[in-house]
Structure 1
Amino acid sequence: MDSMPSQAGPDGIRYDFQDGCRISLPPGDWHAEIMDTGTHTLLFSQGDFPQGTGSGFVCSSKKYFVPFSLKISRNGTTVLEHTLDLRGREILIEMHLGGIGDHLAWIGQVQAFAAKHECIAHCLVRPGLAELFRDQDERLIVTEDRAILERPFYARYKVLIFFNDINRDHQPTDYRQVGLAVSGAYILGLTPEARLPSIRIADGGRPIEEPYVCIATQATGHNKYWNNPVGWQRLVSHLKEKGYRVICIDRDRVAGNGTIWHHIPHGAEDMTGPHPLSERARWLRHADFFVGLSSGLSWLAWAAGCPVVMISGFTEPFNEFETPYRVINRNVCNSCSNDVTIEFERVNYMWCPRHGDSERDFECTKMISPEQVIGTVDRVIADIGGQG
């Protein structure tokens, strides 16, 4: 992003709405005001830009979507008044630092934002994800090319998870309080609800004739795994007894860190590998249901319209999309990810903030029993009229 605002006003004034409201003033006796028109709050008012001094630069502290207006006066005469209006504009949404699940949680919010404001949203996503979202919405242009950051957009917003944002400058409410599913809505000034994204489903239809279930057992941190030592083995055996083929669609057959490594469950069919997410979505679209964790493939299953059994003690159920098949054990330590008194250590694979290095570490999922998950799976099967 250029340090100089992108929009030219009269008499050398420049302004835009990239990371908040930004105003650049040439030397002169100026008075600048910034308003929040939604709450009718005067956010900034200053008139000490005296003649003969260097140029002035004003930037709002709030970087998320605010319906700003600005007013610039000189010697008591209004020189420029402008109210944020995105209609017909091209804007930029940055989310390329988020994970797969983050993108799937937020892209529906971006689509709703573009529709509400009748604008064209260029969306910068992480490498490998553009093919999943491209050409799904006429108001959404998806790219992985970081060169777009240099374009002089009228407005620009970052839809990301912001850690240690004590003053709430980048997000109006802490993501831990509201959950990943709606954090993007808060940043973009939308009503706080999960919004199903439009995604691309690879061609080919149903991939196998027999009834099947998809599972995904890998995650980015040990705290997200189902750490019951016999959990997946018991579940896979039960699903096969019910007449299902059990297809593991993780990217990695084996994943972990240090001395802790997780393998594909015994008895599951190995469909791991770096397949396009649109191809994964095809398998999920036609599966009877999906069993996974608080991770990206659960979000993909949700977006593909597949019933999701989600096993997570690390997060509160409100953190993700709503599913009637959420599995959590409230009798043990749980939901540290949504505890606002705890700062998440992103680089610590073995992060267990309350009981790390004790016999109670990761009890949030160690104590999710195979029987609890199997009972939930049987409820899904009954609800959909599936096998068994």
Structure 2
Amino acid sequence: MPYSRTDLKLEIQTHFDKGFSRDLKILDVGPGAGMYGGLLSEYSDILDYSLGFELDCLEIYPPYIEKFKLKEIYKNVFIGDICTFNISSYDYIILGDVLEHLSIDNAKKVLNTINKNNQKCMVAVPYLSEQGEHEGNIYEAHLQPDLTPEIMKQRYPSLKLLYGNDSYGYYVNYNFNKMKETLVIEYNNLFKKPIKPIYPKNEFKVNFIKGCKFEVIGENKNNYHVEFINQKTNKVIYETDITNNMWTKPSLEYFVDFKIRITDQNNVVWENKFNAENKRVYIHFASNAIGDTLAWFPYAEEFRKKHKCKLIVSTFWNDWFKDTYPNITFVEPGEEQHDLYAMYEVGWHYNEDEDIDYNRIPSNFRKMPLSKTAADQLGLEYREIKPKLSFKKNKSQISGDYVVIAPHASSHAKYWNYKGGWQTVVDYLNDKGYKVVMITKEPMYDDWHDSKLGGTLKGVINKTGNFPLDERANDIMNAKALIGIGSGLSWLSWALGTPVVMISGFSEPYSEFEDCERIYAPKGKCGGCFNKVRLDAGDWEWCPEHKDTDRHFECTTSIKPQVVIDAINRQLEKTP
């Protein structure tokens, strides 16, 4: 462990204080948390003065240097291995809790070098102490867990016991008899009480993984008042009091431009502002729906550009974006990520009561465009942005001008339920010289699916079934327009730049994208139930206000074919 034990530290202070001049050149090997540096250089509560020694240290594990702020404790800090480091310029070598970490051969070589150089050394060891690596530091393992006073005497005969108890011992390689009488007198004159361990300053840590977490790490007992402040509004979102080795965070998991302010007895001791520049940020899209993914993804790139971060993204459709967003690292959903500064999850989130979870999303997603969900959760100003997709436009497999239709959906409420509506539109397009291609996964000539369209459509080229999405994309890119409902294929057509006519009465017109001809329930008819209550995906006939009445699905049964035909003509006029 990096913390040295506190056994007999008062005796060690007295030994150095009365036995050595202050110009002694000391090297502390394996300082860990800097116990000996503090004991010999800083103010002593027991002695009531500072010993005033200056020490250098040699640390083999670099992360400890910053973690324990060793450069504030020692005059010089070196990184290296005592087995190879040149120690010849020092008068005194401290091997505090070091010998047990060395093999027997290496320990003997180090002591032989010290003795040949006529240098003094002090060795502190725990008895019968087994220990493995600690927090990834392999050097923390004990290679001599068998040490006892008897074994120390046999294995290292040049060392003499200075102080010890049943579990710990201090040994030196020099004669201290002449010092003994002075030390006994000085020690007996002290008001003996347990020495306070000298710990490094407490460390403050913050991350923004699904919210903002602040943590105090360290052994210095202190109380802190923590404030989480929204920099955009300058309002305190959450505040609390904690002490060392505790953490706290607000309940909000979406992006907030946080500032964390820490006070100690009304004095500001630390502040930290969100700054993701050149740091690893992970954004996960929680939905595998085509429309959700296409609507939300562009805002990941906007977040990356705004915060200049190293962005990692997981979607269920990474291949759509990899080639067109080279500055983003793509990973699979569920793939573990490390060393993150921040993490956000974009999606529609509900709590255990089936209500909107406002800790995970800042606003009512039913009252806004789908795309704005991502913008709000990532703290971005909203504007409609189309994603850049990797699909390539190839030669059409269908000759002549054609229009694609996508009339099927995952809920009956999403359909255009006007009786004979689709056939009327198909006949109109055929009469104008356009072929009509149906591209849904749901198959034609299946009685159940055809019944939702008023029967099997005639005058339609059948490309229904499980086709790869890149083939669907090619069909759409070569088409003059797509006529559909609120489904993923309508979103795909929008993203690819093919004109869209969208028929939807169960969702308000603001719910999807602006760049389309949007057909909604006529004035005075029920509509927009999707924006009022949560869709029951298990109820195919879901219609929350008029189910099993003569007004069932009136939001689309009332949309007449001529309204759709007029919208189609407006879109076809835009295409060459």
Of 223, 235, 238, the residue aligned with 1:30 is: 223
**Please, which moves more after superposition, 261-270 or 26-35?**
261-270
Which residue is 1:328 aligned to? Answer: 520
Tell whether the 8 Å contact from 1:289 to 1:307 is kept in structure 2 after alignment: yes
- Once the 2 structures are TM-superposed, how far is the Cα of residue 251 of structure 1 from its aligned partner? 2.0
Q: C-alpha offsets along residues 76-124 of structure 1, whole Å, 9 cap, x if unaligned? A: 6766432111212221111132411011110112121211212232222
- Once the 2 structures are TM-superposed, how far is the Cα of residue 295 of structure 1 from its aligned partner? 1.0
Question: TM (normalized to structure 1)?
Answer: 0.86
Please state if 1:284 is matched with 2:472: no
Change (3 A) 1:47 1:229: same
Which residue is 2:460 aligned to? Answer: 268
Change (3 A) 1:267 1:96: farther
Of 201, 215, 238, the residue aligned with 1:44 is: 238
Change (3 A) 1:278 1:113: farther
- Once the 2 structures are TM-superposed, how far is the Cα of residue 175 of structure 1 from its aligned partner? 0.6
Alignment of 1:81-120 (within 5 A): 81-120=271-310
SS of 2:255 mapped into structure 1: coil
Which residue is 2:569 aligned to? Answer: 378
Alignment-mate amino acid for residue 194 of structure 1: E
Which residue is 2:438 aligned to? Answer: 248
Which residue is 2:384 aligned to? Answer: 194
Of 333, 342, 345, the residue aligned with 1:158 is: 345
Change (3 A) 1:322 1:358: same
Tell whether the 8 Å contact from 2:277 to 2:308 is kept in structure 1 after alignment: yes
Alignment-mate amino acid for residue 314 of structure 2: L
Flag structure 2 segments of 5+ consecutive residues without an equivalent.
1-65, 69-201
- Once the 2 structures are TM-superposed, how far is the Cα of residue 246 of structure 1 from its aligned partner? 1.2
Partners of 1:97 and 1:167 lie apart in 2 by: 16
Partners of 1:66 and 1:257 lie apart in 2 by: 48
Alignment-mate amino acid for residue 362 of structure 1: F
Which residue is 1:314 aligned to? Answer: 506
Of 396, 400, 403, the residue aligned with 1:213 is: 403
Alignment of 1:324-363 (within 5 A): 324-331=516-523, 332-339=525-532, 342-363=533-554
Larger radius of gyration: 2
Partners of 2:476 and 2:449 lie apart in 1 by: 32
Partners of 1:288 and 1:9 lie apart in 2 by: 63
- Once the 2 structures are TM-superposed, how far is the Cα of residue 273 of structure 1 from its aligned partner? 3.0
Please state if 1:144 is matched with 2:332: yes
**Please, which moves more after superposition, 80-89 or 252-261?**
252-261
Q: C-alpha offsets along residues 195-232 of structure 1, whole Å, 9 cap, x if unaligned? A: 11111123524443311111111111111111123111
Partners of 1:144 and 1:349 lie apart in 2 by: 32
Change (3 A) 1:234 1:261: closer
Change (3 A) 1:264 1:217: farther
Alignment-mate amino acid for residue 144 of structure 1: E
Count of residues paired in the alignment? 369
SS of 1:298 mapped into structure 2: helix
Tell whether the 8 Å contact from 1:115 to 1:139 is kept in structure 2 after alignment: no
SS of 1:147 mapped into structure 2: coil
Tell whether the 8 Å contact from 1:93 to 1:157 is kept in structure 2 after alignment: yes
- Once the 2 structures are TM-superposed, how far is the Cα of residue 166 of structure 1 from its aligned partner? 5.0
Change (3 A) 1:257 1:179: farther
- Once the 2 structures are TM-superposed, how far is the Cα of residue 248 of structure 1 from its aligned partner? 1.4
Change (3 A) 1:327 1:203: closer
Which residue is 2:189 aligned to? Answer: none
Partners of 2:447 and 2:535 lie apart in 1 by: 19
- Once the 2 structures are TM-superposed, how far is the Cα of residue 268 of structure 1 from its aligned partner? 1.9
- Once the 2 structures are TM-superposed, how far is the Cα of residue 46 of structure 1 from its aligned partner? 2.1
Flag structure 1 segments of 5+ consecutive residues without an equivalent.
1-7
Of 363, 369, 383, the residue aligned with 2:560 is: 369
Partners of 2:389 and 2:547 lie apart in 1 by: 38
Tell whether the 8 Å contact from 2:280 to 2:339 is kept in structure 1 after alignment: no
- Once the 2 structures are TM-superposed, how far is the Cα of residue 299 of structure 1 from its aligned partner? 0.7
- Once the 2 structures are TM-superposed, how far is the Cα of residue 235 of structure 1 from its aligned partner? 1.2
Change (3 A) 1:190 1:257: farther
Partners of 2:573 and 2:276 lie apart in 1 by: 48
Partners of 1:63 and 1:122 lie apart in 2 by: 18
Partners of 2:268 and 2:447 lie apart in 1 by: 62
Partners of 1:22 and 1:247 lie apart in 2 by: 53
Please state if 1:62 is matched with 2:252: yes
Change (3 A) 1:99 1:270: same
Partners of 2:230 and 2:410 lie apart in 1 by: 39
Change (3 A) 1:69 1:314: same
**Please, which moves more after superposition, 66-75 or 318-327?**
66-75
Change (3 A) 1:29 1:297: same
Aligned-residue Cα RMSD (Å) equals 2.7
Tell whether the 8 Å contact from 1:239 to 1:245 is kept in structure 2 after alignment: yes
SS of 1:384 mapped into structure 2: coil
Tell whether the 8 Å contact from 2:287 to 2:293 is kept in structure 1 after alignment: no
Partners of 2:540 and 2:331 lie apart in 1 by: 30
Which residue is 1:5 aligned to? Answer: none
Tell whether the 8 Å contact from 2:286 to 2:345 is kept in structure 1 after alignment: no
- Once the 2 structures are TM-superposed, how far is the Cα of residue 311 of structure 1 from its aligned partner? 0.5
